[in-house]
Structure 1
Amino acid sequence: MSKVLKTSIPSLSSPRKAPFTVFIEGNIGAGKTTFLNHFKKYDDVRLYTEPVEKWRNVQGINLFELMYKESHKWAFPFQTYVTLTMLQTHTEYTSKRVKLMERSLYSARHCFVEAMLANNTLHKGMYNIMQEWYNYINENIHIQADLIVYLRTTPEVVYERMKARGRSEEDSVSLDYLKQLHDLHEDWLMHGRKHRPAPVLVLNADLDMDKICDEYVRSESSILRSQGQFISTN
């Protein structure tokens, strides 16, 4: 069953210049893209998938693949580029009233960078540079954040999903790594041990496709209510 942690969902009854911005967070294979696709039918929602295609083609270089194949060499440049591309998404203008983003700078910082440090694929000096970047962004650039949807899963479930979808770059991703990412997401979003920029709506994303839609529907009242009324469908 879905639930909201800590604070209530901000009201959209008063005028606001920025769109109601929602981060869709969760482990690899949690179903974030599928969740976004559920909202395609709404005409005043702008969807932003994770910029994987940019990572796969940096002027002809597949940085995504290199990061997994030679993590010690490529983790830092990859994560630097992730920071840039995610920041581009965060700051991109949209006239839509709702903005849904697959992941955010916050999950990059609190989950993936921390995992790289723990696994010794990111040198402490490189980690410190990343933190300097994140601190500068946090202090100087406004990142709109109104709600976090946490697609909560168990590592074993997402491991099977990841294998089934067959991204070549993810061939080397182990169940242990997914367990590590799961724990980092839990520490951040469930236990609040890292900064949460917005209230957290938790959905059970372990469910099969024929049941997960009910969870998606339950999230609509938190995401789509704008100016006191629900956004219409296309």
Structure 2
Amino acid sequence: MTAAAARFFLNFWSALRPVVRTVKSGGTRGIRTGTPGKLMRSGDSRRTVICVEGNIASGKTTCLDYFSNTSNIQVLTEPVSKWRNVRGHNLLALMYQDPQRWGISLQTYIQLTMLDKHLSATTAPVTMMERSIFSAKHIFVENLYRSGKMPEVDYIILNEWFDWITTNVSLPVDLIVYLQTSPQTCYERLKQRCREEEMVIPLEYLEFIHQLHEDWLIKGTSAPVPAPVLVIPADYDLQKMLHKYEEHREKILTATNS
């Protein structure tokens, strides 16, 4: 394992260790056991969790913004600001510039920050998340490994951590909203929004990410899907997409009854 990977896994374990120690000692501190043998955030037993998944520039932010105006929904966006500033280091930019060197570092930190999002305490009955710890693993870790930009040993270690987390921590998801967008549409949107880190992303990268989403959420051939999937075609302009979100509002907000 690289020195960078070793440092990040040490930090990862340092973040998890207080949670494990608290449960073992019988403490509270906001964590309790729900599903037998699993840890979960206190107060989450009746919360509905919806994950919005899709390619880069598929329209996830627009979807989240639309539903953020709905009462009783708490929206949790991807912690991109953390990935851009890890004590002064832009880990996201580093990964795009040199994925073989920085892929393990970024994906370890993403796994940690997405776990934190899944365990975030909320008083709202419905939580809508931008992506999830599951897509971090099944899409972006897989992309790095299959494209030859992540050494096998790093891939194995990330898999071990993911398996440990999903075995020992309760991470329920009630619905996945998949914004199904063509790679070409994503590429055009990506160029229009001009985020500095994304300027180096080629169309071929988006095509590969698209196929991984299709294999996971449509075909079900790459990995288990943690919840039912609602597919929303998302190649349309803003007004058409807002209309589509309104069309699907009831189905999304009654995810626990579907």
- What is the TM-score of this pair, normalised by structure 2? 0.80
Q: CA deviation at 1:227?
A: 9.4
Task: Pick from 237, 246, 254 the counterpart of residue 217 of structure 1.
Answer: 246
Q: CA deviation at 1:41?
A: 1.4
Q: Distance in 2 between matches of 1:58 and 1:227?
A: 36
**What does the per-residue CA deviation read over 1:19-48, in whole Å, with 9 as the maximum and x for residues that have no partner?**
110000000000001100001211210001
Q: Which has the higher helix share?
A: 2
Q: CA deviation at 1:68?
A: 0.5
Task: Pick from 190, 195, 199 the counterpart of residue 171 of structure 1.
Answer: 199
Aligned 8 A contact 1:97 1:226 in 2:
no
Aligned 8 A contact 2:50 2:177 in 1:
yes
Q: What residue in structure 2 maps to residue 52 of structure 1? A: 80
**What does the per-residue CA deviation read over 1:128-168, in whole Å, with 9 as the maximum and x for residues that have no partner?**
00000010011100002000000001000000000100111
Q: Percent identity among equivalent residues?
A: 43
Task: Pick from 74, 88, 92 the counterpart of residue 120 of structure 2.
Answer: 92
Q: What residue in structure 1 maps to residue 21 of structure 2? A: none
Q: Distance in 2 between matches of 1:64 and 1:198?
A: 28
Q: What residue in structure 1 maps to residue 109 of structure 2? A: 81
Aligned 8 A contact 1:20 1:99 in 2:
yes
Query: What aligned pairs does 1:12-27 form with structure 2 within 5 A after superposition?
Result: 17-27=45-55
Gaps of 5+ in 1: 1-15, 229-234
- Name the SS for the 1:100 alignment partner: strand
Gaps of 5+ in 2: 1-43
Task: Please tell me the residue identity of whatever aligns with 2:67.
Answer: F
Aligned 8 A contact 2:183 2:207 in 1:
yes
Q: What residue in structure 2 maps to residue 232 of structure 1? A: none
Q: What residue in structure 1 maps to residue 226 of structure 2? A: 197
- Rg bigger for which structure? 2
Greater relative CO, 1 or 2 (CA 8 Å, sep 6+):
1
Residues 125 and 161 (structure 1), Cα distance of their counterparts in 2 relative to 1, 3 Å cut: same
Aligned 8 A contact 2:57 2:189 in 1:
yes
- What is the TM-score of this pair, normalised by structure 1? 0.88
Q: What residue in structure 2 maps to residue 34 of structure 1? A: 62
Q: Distance in 1 between matches of 2:45 and 2:157?
A: 33
- Name the SS for the 1:161 alignment partner: helix
Q: CA RMSD in A?
A: 1.4
